Amino acid sequence: MITAKEIEAAIRNVPDFPKAGIQFKDITPLLADARLFAGAIDLLADNFKPGSVDAVVGIDARGFIFAAAAAIKLNAGFVPVRKKGKLPFQTHEQDYALEYGSATIAMHVDALKPGARVLLIDDLLATGGTAAAAAALVKKLGARILEINFLIELKFLNGREKLNGYPVRSVVVY
């Protein structure tokens, strides 16, 4: 079994990307290592047995990598939450605040059945705005979030406060 410490050691800190003052958590060294990538998926999905989740919802774009792999492991479907304007069919949209301005994410209106048991996954929890907006879209379709999981959490940004009421877990906490 891979430990969270080993995962953390494979995450590269890139200062001042994409702009000054941001330390970007680069997951590509982790993804490139077969053992660590598989171990990260095991840790993200380890609260669930195959068949206990109907859909794993992943957030555009790095969330897709982990959510899709977890979906296969859990014998669940995969549902993408995308940036506005990317999904081809009818969508529900949700706005959320960024540091400067706002952004919009979208999900297909038929992506989840009412009552579906959902695991929501993104690569990183920062301020929580993105995940809260994705959770709102899942709720709008009448599906049920079992857990919201992140590979990485930047605890000092208090993102969990925006995810009040949902069980939240993260593998590596900074």
Residues that bind ligand AMP (CB under 6 A): 22-25, 59, 62, 122-131, 159
- Is 99 an annotated catalytic residue? yes
How does DSSP assign 95-155, residue by residue? Answer: EEE-SSSEEEEEEETTSS-TT-EEEEEEEEESSSHHHHHHHHHHHHTT-EEEEEEEEEE-G
Is the separation of the CB atoms in 70 and 41 below 8 Å? yes
Whichever of 52 and 173 has its CB closer to ligand AMP, that residue is 173
Whichever of 123 and 147 has its CB closer to ligand AMP, that residue is 123
Active-site residue among 8, 12, 62, 169?
A: 62
Shortest distance, CB of residue 11 to ligand AMP, whole angstroms? 9
- Is 153 an annotated catalytic residue? no
Whichever of 76 and 121 has its CB closer to ligand AMP, that residue is 121
Residue 87: name the closest of 65, 72, 109, 68 by CA: 109
User: Catalytic residue positions?
Assistant: 62, 99
